[in-house]
Amino acid sequence: MSSTEAPVLSCEGVELSFGGLKALKGITFSVQPGEILGLVGPNGSGKTTTVNVSTGFYRPNAGRVRLFGEDITGIKPDRIARRGVARTFQNLALFKGMSVLDNILIGRHIHMRPSALGTLFYWWWAQREELAQRRVVEDVIEFMQLQDIRDEPVEVIPLGLQKRVELARALVSEPKLLILDEPMAGMNQEEKEYIARFILDAREERGVTILIIEHHMDVVTAICDRAIVLCNGEIIAQGEPRAAIAEPAVIKAYLGERAARRVGMGDAA
Amino acid sequence: MFYRRSGIRHTRYQSERQLFPLGFDRFLILSVLAVLLAAPFLFDRLYVTGYLLPWLIWSSAALGLNLLMGGAGQVHLGYGAVMAMGAYGSVHLMRFGAPLELAMIAGGLISASVGIIFGAAALRVKGIYLAMATLAMQSIVDFVISQTPAISGGALATLQAPPARFLGISLSGERETYYFALLVCAVITLFMLNVRRTSFGRALAAIREKDYAAEILGISTLRYKLMAFWVSSFIGGVVGSVLAICYLRAVSPDQFHLDLSIQILAMVIVGGLGSVLGPFFGAALVLFAPILINNALGSAFSTFGMTVPIDLRAHLPLVAYGALVIGFLLYEPYGLAKIYSNVRTYLLVWPFRHAQR
C-alpha cells in the first residue's frame, strides 16, 4: 500500500461480539483523505461500536484496523490519539467542574510535556509552554466562536454550546482524523446549522478528514461526501449519501418491509 | 464589593493565569502569611508549638492526600502508612548521619516507591474496592514496621529522632522548627496551587471526571494514576519525616496507625475535596474542634452545676464532633472551602444579588 494515498482509516473485516451478541459482523470500509464520511443506521446497528473499535476502546475479535496504512488493531486509545485521531462522544464527555477554557486546554495534552516538577516550578518550567499552548487554544476558541463563555464552568452552559466545546476540544489537538459521534443529537435547527458549518470549515481551514455518525438525514446528505449505512452489524449500503439512503435495503431497515416495497413500486415520492 | 473586580483588565494571558487575579485575594493571602510569619513573636509559645505547628503539618499532609483524592479522584485509606514510611525512612537515614535535607527527600522517595506499588491496585479496581486495597496497605505497612526490629526497634520501641539541621540552622529550638514546617507547608501549597493551572493537573482532573474521554485525548490513565499516587505518596513521605523530626521527635509504630489515616481523610473531606484552601480548614476543624467542644462543655457543666459521670464527660465531645462532621457532609458536601467560596461569591457582587458563579 503506497503511503501517500493510503486511506486515513480502514477497517478490514472487523468482527466483534459481546457474549452471544454479534455486534459487528465483518465490517470493511475506509475513510479517504479529506472526505467527510457519514456513518448512519438504526439504533443498535453498530455505529458507535465501529468507532469504539477504530479508536481502541474495543479490541476486535477478528479483522484489522489501519490508520494511514499502519496496523493499529488493539492499540490503546491514548496511543491512537497521539497518531492524530480525535473524537467526540454521543453523550457529552466534558470534564465537569472545569472552565470551558480548561476543557479545551486538555485537548492540547499530546502537544505538552506535563510533569510534577514543572508544576512545582511553574514560573521557570511550565509557564512558557502553558502560554504558548494558550495561543493555539485561543485560535480555536475564536474559530468556534466561544470567546464570551471561555471562563464559564462547563456544566452551566446550554447543551448546544457544550457540544461545541467538545468539538473545539477535539479540534485543538490538531487531529488528522476527527470522529464525531452524533454531534447534533438533541439540537434545534439553528444549532444544527452552526455545527454543520463548523464541520465544513474544519475540513476547509484545517484539512481534517471527518467520520461522522449522525441521525439527521438532512445533515448527512448536506455535508457528507459519502455515506455508509449499517444495520445489525453489517454494511447494507454505501456511496453517495442521497443514493445510499434511498436503497431498498436501507428503507427496509428503517421503515420495514412494506415501506420498502412501496418505494420500490414508485408509490412514495 | 469587597473583592473588587471592576477595573481589572487583563491584556496578557500571563496576568490572567496568575494565582490570585483579584487584589483582595492577594491582600488576604499576604496578611495570613504575615501573621503566620510573625506568630512566634506575637503569640505565646504554647500556642505556636501546641496548635500552629501541628496545624501546619497536618494541613500539609491533607494537601498531599487531596492531590490524590480531590485531584485524581482516587480513594486512599492508608495515608498514615505512607507517612510512616517517610518518617521511619528519614529517621533511620539521619541516625546513619545523613543530613535532614537528604533524609527528607529520601523519605519521600521511599514512600513514593512503595505507594506506587499500591497505586498499581488503582489500575484494576475503583471506588470502594480501591478503598479496601489501600486499607490493606495500611495494615501491611503497620505490621511490617512493628514486626521488623530493624525498622522499629521492636514492637513497643520508640526511635529517637537525632538532632537535625536544615541549611545549617539547628532545628532544636521551637521557632526554627516552626519556620521549617511553615516553609515545607508553603512549598506544598504552592505546588497544589500550580496544579490547577498546568497540564499535569488538568490530566489528573480529566482522569477523575471521565477516564475514557481522557484516554482519547492522549492521556494514559495508567501513567497518570500511577503519577498521582507517586506524587501524593512523595508529599506524604516528606510530611511524615517533618512530623517525626519537628513535632513528634521520636517515632513509634502506633503513631501512624489507621487513626492517622482516617484523621487526614476527614480533614480532606470536611475541608473540601479538590480545593487548596480546604485542607487548612479541615485540619483546623479536625484538630481543634474536639478540644474546643471539650472546653465548652466543661465550662457549661460547671456553670450550671451539673454533675456528669466521668465517662460521659469524656465521650460527649467525641459525639458532638461526630455530629459536626455528619452535619457538614449533609449540608455542605463540598466542605468548609465551599462555604468560604459561597461567602466570597456573595461578597463578589454585593450589594447585587446574582453572581455568575
Q: What pLDDT does B355 receive?
A: 57
Q: What pLDDT does A1 receive?
A: 43
Q: Is B15 on the interface with A (CB under 8 A)?
A: no
**Inter-chain residue contact B198 with A119, CB threshold 8 Å:** yes
Closest CA to B81 of B259, B279, B250: B259
Q: Rounded to an integer, what distance in angstroms lies between the CA atom of residue B83 and that of residue B233?
A: 8
Q: What pLDDT does B1 receive?
A: 60
Helix axes A189-206, A127-143, angle to 10 degrees: 120
Q: What angle do CA A200, A201, A205 make, to 5 degrees?
A: 130
3-class SS of residue A16: strand
B219 membership: H or E segment, kind and range: none
pLDDT of B291-320, one tens digit each? 888 888 888 888 888 777 888 878 887 788
**Inter-chain residue contact B198 with A77, CB threshold 8 Å:** no
pLDDT of B177-186, one tens digit each? 999 999 999 9
pLDDT tens track, chain A, 269 positions: 444 578 999 999 999 999 889 999 999 999 999 999 999 999 889 999 999 999 999 999 999 999 999 999 989 999 999 999 999 998 889 999 899 999 999 999 999 888 888 888 888 888 888 899 999 999 999 999 999 999 999 999 998 899 999 999 999 999 999 999 999 988 888 989 989 999 999 999 999 999 999 999 999 999 999 999 999 999 999 999 999 988 888 888 888 888 777 776 654 44
Domains, chain A: 9-264 (3.40.50.300)
Which of B194, B205, B220 faces A95 most closely, judged by CB atoms?
B205
Q: What pLDDT does B354 receive?
A: 67
- Which of the residues in chain B have pLDDT under 50? 357
Q: Rounded to an integer, what distance in angstroms lies between the CA atom of residue B58 and that of residue B55?
A: 5
Q: Rounded to an integer, what distance in angstroms lies between the CA atom of residue A164 and that of residue A187?
A: 11
HSE value, Cβ hemisphere, 13 Å, CA-based, for B162? 15
Query: For the purposes of burial, counting CB atoms within 10 Å of the CB of B180, is it exposed (0-12), middle (13-18) or buried (19 or more)?
Result: buried
Nine cell digits for residue A88: 467526540
Q: What pLDDT does B313 receive?
A: 79
**Inter-chain residue contact B194 with A119, CB threshold 8 Å:** yes
Q: How many CB atoms lie within 10 A of CB A58?
A: 18
Which of B198, B212, B216 faces A126 most closely, judged by CB atoms?
B198
ipTM of this complex prediction, to 2 decimal places: 0.88
**Inter-chain residue contact B221 with A78, CB threshold 8 Å:** yes
Q: How many CB atoms lie within 10 A of CB A157?
A: 16
Q: Which residues of A touch B230 (CB under 8 A)?
A: 116
A133 min Cα distance to partner chain B (Å): 10
